[in-house]
Amino acid sequence: MSKGFHVAIVGATGVVGQELMAVLQERKFPISNLKLLASARSQGKKLKYCGEELTVFEAKPDSFEGVDLVFFAGGPVSKELVPEAVKRGAVAIDNSSAFRMDPDVPLVVPEVNPDDVEKHRGIISNPNCSTTIFVVPLNPIHKIAKVKRAVVTTMQAVSGAGREAVDELLLQTRQVLDGEEVEQPKAFDHQIAFNLIPHIDVFNENSYSREELKLLHETRKILHDPEIQITATTVRVPVLCSHSESVNIETEGKLTAQEAKEILSNAPGITVQDAPEKLEYPMPIFTSGRDEVFVGRIRNDYSQERGLNFWIVSDQLRKGAATNAVQIAELLCSRNLL
């Protein structure tokens, strides 16, 4: 490997961990040594990176000795091991929800709040995938016209729930098409093939799920705006990759749809795909494997004087997780914060 940093990935065998390896390689992040870590059951597995075969080791506190940067791919292990990595001098970029709302931990989307990396004390959180995809186009509009309120409906791909969820959708689809009885679901509470499940994460007492409340609280933190109002419904859909979001916003300043298109077309990380007369709009089959957030169906809300509708689609394993994490690492490098 080339000259660079000593890097570790915790959760290297999972879908986000695998995507992290791919993005690090594609973007040529400077790595001199890459340590792959996972649970005890994955110890000894072999994975390839830049043509080299690397062995996966069990993630333990002493795994982070001599490591400069650790990517945590997500999961409950972060709560225990992120502080251990920081204690040993590493900077941790964490994809779990463990530290996102900690006031001392920056929650960063590089296109939106890059300066927040300057405040890190060893930990930087990656937002929830649906939040990241949402705030990239919301931010440039918010800067121009100030968003007062947003109504968001997410349609989230099964790969956001891990490899078992992908396998379950594929198995159930085959069983339905072959006329077989569908096995009892394991990854989800209900059959996902040929179905929609309006339930992601646990429900709170107010009947909102934790996934829905993440969109509110994380967006407020990223935008540094505690006043913005957001209500969400999150839905799991039988799509393999790329989350979609239907968004309606109300702004303080009036924007025409054309003005919104121009703002979004000039914003970083966004591809505007909005030609309904040609049947051109974002869809998961076009966005999977890409790093941009695609926006289309941009139109004024005729029921609100200052209302706007738009449609967002993005690969949640890349921009929603791995790519965003690597972009944070690149920010740290560019600002000499590693």
Say whether both 84 and 141 belong to one domain. Answer: no
Asked if 110 and 101 count as a contact pair (C-beta separation under 8 A), the reply is no
Neighbours of 190 (CB within 10 A): 10
Say whether both 136 and 212 belong to one domain. Answer: yes
DSSP string, 41-71: GGTT-EEEETTEEEEEEE--GGGGTT-SEEE
pLDDT, one tens digit for every residue, the chain (338 residues) = 557 999 999 999 999 999 999 999 999 999 999 999 999 999 999 999 998 999 999 999 999 999 999 999 988 999 999 999 999 999 999 999 999 999 999 999 999 999 999 999 999 999 999 999 999 999 999 999 999 999 999 999 999 999 999 999 999 999 999 999 999 999 999 999 999 999 999 999 999 999 999 999 999 999 999 999 999 999 999 999 999 999 999 999 999 999 999 999 999 999 999 999 999 999 999 999 999 999 999 999 999 999 999 999 999 999 999 999 999 999 999 999 98
Told to judge if 224 belongs to the known catalytic residues of this protein, a careful annotator would answer no
Residue 325 domain boundaries = 5-126+321-334
Say whether both 148 and 294 belong to one domain. Answer: yes
Sign for the pseudo-dihedral over CA of 70, 5, 89, 220: negative
Told to judge if 333 belongs to the known catalytic residues of this protein, a careful annotator would answer no
Task: Retrieve residue 43's tokens.
Answer: 């110890």
- Beta-carbon contacts of residue 81 (< 8 Å; ≥ 6 apart): 10, 59, 61, 64, 72
Say whether both 27 and 112 belong to one domain. Answer: yes
Of residues 129, 142, 190, 199, which has the active-site annotation?
129
Task: Retrieve residue 16's tokens.
Answer: 């986000």
Of residues 120, 142, 241, 243, which has the active-site annotation?
243
Say whether both 120 and 151 belong to one domain. Answer: no
